[in-house]
Chain A
């Protein structure tokens, strides 16, 4: 298992390296000079020497390969650089944004799993029933619902009309856990729709496949109760593709968080990325994208490791 883990970890390195190069180059291709934006923001009348000095300070006068080497070297040492648009270190800007995104994504993920897994299993165990058809149609609708529509409906009805939950913002759970949950719910429900649709479809087809296997027929022939057949014999085997899709969907959650955090004015990683891209703040964009890539790559690694629990045969690989 340790060798397998090490091999999988090493396999992620080239992906992370290439992604970091892609992100770095894309940022350098952005139109507009970040130093000019910086000066513009400061409303200062600065000399050519000062501009050159600023460019030197941010390492922007160096050739691209040197800039990349310096940047990646610092990143590996834990230094994400300084924001161009504010005097703060990037780490100080990024760190407080992680909690809202992670908390909302986690609640969205839990809501999606709690709703979608039973629906998927029920659809699979009662094929062609009204419940199956409702689940299937619901999944199709859920997958097509844009965040704007779900978010717009939730804000209008739940927050503005019924005044049940706040329409925007985020309160830290360390400040007020109850208010934190209330501010997280609407964005989390918005995010969970698409995710739930995918889990319903995947769990349904996966359970249908497993329930046709000979060992399930044997278990039923022995007279085992249906709930025991599903929970004891089918569940672990059917969950393998479901877990894979849950891992893959993490990237979708990050994509979704960009839009939902903008809709609900949540000060998270997604909203930080948007403001940094619009403000041409290279160091912040690079750090945020690298952070997202790391999370996605390691989530996929965690999915691989979950296989070991669900299917012991993979532990040998």
Chain B
């Protein structure tokens, strides 16, 4: 038992069970109007992507030269593209890739950025100084400029675009986690753990990480929106998905060539991108309030 001066506690508060905290967060999310709307929007898009083989009326790459650039109709609810392919079917299948790639990119960024931030904040000194200067330099570059350069280095392709997005996002999570660690590491419960000889890695993962992770969860939700936009931009420029693979971004890229003849060709995938980003942003807003009600930004 560690003895501390009177009035100083070892643990931050009585710890709620994980299930209880999860239930509380979900309860707050559902009561948050924006978060609820975001969840509904995302459920629609993710549900459509998951059920793509059953929902899509046509094969995404089925070419029909007799039905090129047709306007929306009962046969093709969102019209057809320049090769007569059904845009709705391509949108649903493309959504699978766009959403998966963006989510994986954020997961990759979190799994690299969070440990780096933990180490930088906890160890401090030269490690922190060097890491932060490198990250400052990376962050001095506009995100899409850096993503473009990395995607060009790795070569065009969806996997490489995903890696590029992840690399661009790493500094955000590193800085966020470092800031959290710096504000937590002088707490008494950390000092208590150190004084009884708990190894640093265990302190970081058992005591620091659970208390510092909430802002990362919020940022990750907002980050998926950013990743969707960046993936679309890279595909639009020609460094993302390559034919015959299509994502929402690559559909927009081809669609712009036919904007005057077939505006639905651009507007359908662009609207899908908008709905997904809006959904993740609204969910992020809700998570921010649900995970930290003291700093409520509810509007």
Chain B residues numbered 251-283 whose CB sits less than 8 Å from any CB in chain A: 252, 255-256, 259-260, 263, 266-267, 269-271, 273-274, 277-278, 281-282
A293 within 8 A of B: yes
Which residues of B lie under 8 Å from residue A277 when comparing CB positions?
Answer: 148-149, 152, 239
Closest to B267 in A: A152
Judge if B299 is at the interface, Cβ distance under 8 Å.
yes
Which stretch of B9-17, B45-53, B230-238 is in the interface? B230-238
B44 within 8 A of partner (CB): no
Docked-complex contact A285 and B141, CB < 8 angstroms: no
Mark contacts of A266-297 with chain B using CB atoms, 8 A cut-off: 1 yes-contact digit, 0 otherwise: 00000001100110100001000100110011
- A29 x B134 contact (CB < 8 A): no
Min Cβ gap A120→B in Å is 12
B64 contacts A by Cβ under 8 Å? no
CA distance A78 to B277 in the complex (A): 42
Q: Taking chain B's interface residues, is the majority helix, strand, or loop, or is none over half, making it mixed?
A: helix
Task: Mark each residue of chain A from 14 to 32: 1 if its CB lies under 8 Å from any CB of chain B, else 0.
Answer: 1110110011001101110
CA A251 – CA B138 in complex, angstroms? 12
Within 8 A of A (CB), among B20-71: 34
B135 → A minimal CB distance (Å)? 10
A22: which of B137, B236, B266, B273 is its contact (CB, 8 Å)?
B137
**Residue numbers in A under 8 Å from B126 (CB-CB):** none
In the assembled complex, the Cα of A156 lies from the Cα of B262 at a distance in Å of 10
Near B by CB (< 8 A), chain A positions 245-277 give 251-252, 254-256, 258-259, 262-263, 273-274, 277
Contact call B150/A148, Cβ cutoff below 8 A: no
A278 CA / B153 CA spacing, docked (Å): 10
Chain A residues contacting B125 (CB-CB under 8 Å) are: none
- CA–CA, A143 and B134, complex, Å: 29
Inter-subunit contact B299/A19 (CB<8 Å): no
Contact B277 A144 (CB under 8 A): yes
Say which residue of B136, B238, B273 sits within 8 Å of A148 (CB atoms).
B273
Query: Contact between B145 and A254 (Cβ–Cβ < 8 Å)?
Result: yes
A146-B277, A255-B144 as given contacts; A285 in contact with B263, CB under 8 Å: no
| Cα-based distance from A151 to B142 in the complex (angstroms) | 21
State whether the Cβ of A149 lies closer than 8 Å to any Cβ in chain B.
Answer: yes
- Closest-by-CB residue of B relative to A152 is B266
Q: A148-B273, A149-B270, A273-B148 are in contact. Are A15 and B136 (CB under 8 A)?
A: yes
Output the least CB separation between A89 and chain B (Å). 22
Tell me the smallest distance from the CB of A83 to a CB of chain B, in Å. 17
Q: Which residue of A lies closest to B137 (CB)?
A: A18
B229 at the interface (CB under 8 A from A): yes
CB distance A152 to B263 under 8 Å? yes
Partner of A143 from B152, B273, B281 at Cβ < 8 Å:
B281
CB <8 Å contact, B271 and A149: yes
Do A258 and B260 touch (CB < 8 A)?
A: no
The verdict on A255 contacting B277 (CB below 8 Å), with A19-B137, A132-B299, A149-B267 known, is no
Give every chain B residue within 8 A of A160 (Cβ-Cβ).
Answer: 259-260
Residues of A with C-beta under 8 A to B236: 148, 259, 262
The reply to whether the CB of B206 lies closer than 8 angstroms to some CB of chain A is no
B225 close to A (CB within 8 Å): yes
Which of the segments A39-47, A62-70, A133-141 contacts the partner chain? A133-141
For the complex, is B140 an interface residue (Cβ under 8 Å from A)? yes
Cβ of A155 within 8 Å of any chain B Cβ, yes or no, is: yes
Does A145 lie at the interface of the complex (its beta carbon under 8 Å from any beta carbon of B)?
yes
Q: A15-B136, A140-B34, A146-B229 are in contact. Are A31 and B237 (CB under 8 A)?
A: no
Chain B residues within 8 Å of A293, by CB: 140-141
**Interface contact A19-B237, CB-CB below 8 Å:** no
Q: Does B133 reach chain A (CB closer than 8 Å)?
A: yes
B143 within 8 A of A: yes
Q: What 4 A-B pairs are tightest by C-beta distance, nearest first?
A: A18-B137, A255-B144, A149-B270, A144-B278
Q: Which residues of A contact B (CB under 8 A)?
A: 14-16, 18-19, 22-23, 26-27, 29-31, 132-133, 136, 140-141, 143-149, 152-153, 155-156, 160, 205, 251-252, 254-256, 258-259, 262-263, 273-274, 277-278, 280, 285, 289, 292-293, 296-297
Residue numbers of B with Cβ under 8 A of A are 34, 133-134, 136-138, 140-145, 148-150, 152-153, 155, 225, 229, 232-233, 236-239, 252, 255-256, 259-260, 263, 266-267, 269-271, 273-274, 277-278, 281-282, 285, 297, 299
27 residue pairs A–B, Cβ–Cβ below 8 Å: A14-B133, A19-B138, A19-B140, A22-B141, A23-B141, A23-B149, A26-B153, A30-B152, A31-B155, A132-B299, A140-B281, A144-B225, A144-B277, A146-B277, A148-B269, A149-B273, A160-B259, A205-B297, A251-B141, A251-B143, A252-B143, A255-B233, A256-B144, A274-B148, A277-B148, A278-B239, A297-B140
